[in-house]
Amino acid sequence: MSRAVLSLGSNLGDRLAYLRLAVEGLSDVLVAASPVYETAPWGVTDQPDFLNAVLIVESPELDEWGWLRRGQALERQAERRREQRWGPRTLDVDVVTVDGVRSEDPELLLPHPGTPSRATVLIPWLAIEPNAELPGHGRVADLLEALPRNEIDDVHRRADLALR
């Protein structure tokens, strides 16, 4: 059995529909889906706001590479074009962590190295797993606490939007 945390992001087109496409595509393995958050863009700041969410998924069959491939298949379904790094996209599926697996392969870095500094991942994750830990980095709640207040304030729960 492997358990993964996946982060979803979209800031092009019908953002909620793209997140839902991912949730529906993972319905056979879905354990929990976070609320939806509207978030100011980081990295490249001159682009539309994102919708972000986090999913917890479990499967007896998939290892970490299997999760990466499932995520990439969903990105292709969303007709994602790979253009600018950190630029706008219909759907981004990142593998945040898979059990305690560590990987330094550039095709699959685990835990995803952006996680400790991204309120857009930590906040939705905490909403569905308050005691979550990021292997090698400690408690997710502590990671969030260490972030600058303005980055936390840039993440807004959209109670009017639901993934399913």
Ligand X SMILES: Nc1ncnc2c1ncn2[C@@H]1O[C@H](COP(=O)(O)OP(=O)(O)OP(=O)(O)O)[C@@H](O)[C@H]1O
Ligand Y SMILES: Nc1nc2c(c(=O)[nH]1)N=C(CO)CN2
Q: Please choose, out of 13-21, 81-89, 137-145, 148-156, the segment that lies near ligand X by the rule CB under 6 A.
A: 81-89
Q: How near is the Cβ of 56 to ligand Y at its closest, in Å?
A: 18
110 binds, among ligand Y, ligand X, none (CB under 5 to 8 A by kind): ligand X
Span between the terminal Cα atoms of the chain, in Å: 25
Buried b (16+ CB within 10 A) or exposed e, 120-140: bbbbbbbbbbeebebeeeeeb
50 binds, among ligand X, ligand Y, none (CB under 5 to 8 A by kind): ligand Y
Binder of ligand X out of 112, 119, 132, 144 (CB under 6 A): 112
Q: How near is the Cβ of 15 to ligand Y at its closest, in Å?
A: 11
95 binds, among ligand Y, ligand X, none (CB under 5 to 8 A by kind): ligand X
Question: Residue 51 class from Cβ within 10 Å (0-12 exposed, 13-18 middle, 19+ buried)?
Answer: buried
Cβ closer to ligand X: 20 or 112?
Answer: 112
Question: Residue 66 class from Cβ within 10 Å (0-12 exposed, 13-18 middle, 19+ buried)?
Answer: middle
Residues of this chain that bind ligand Y (CB under 6 A): 9, 39-43, 50, 52, 86, 92, 120
What would the two tokens of residue 82 be?
């790979």
Residues that bind ligand X (CB under 6 A): 68, 82, 85-86, 92, 94-95, 107-110, 112, 114
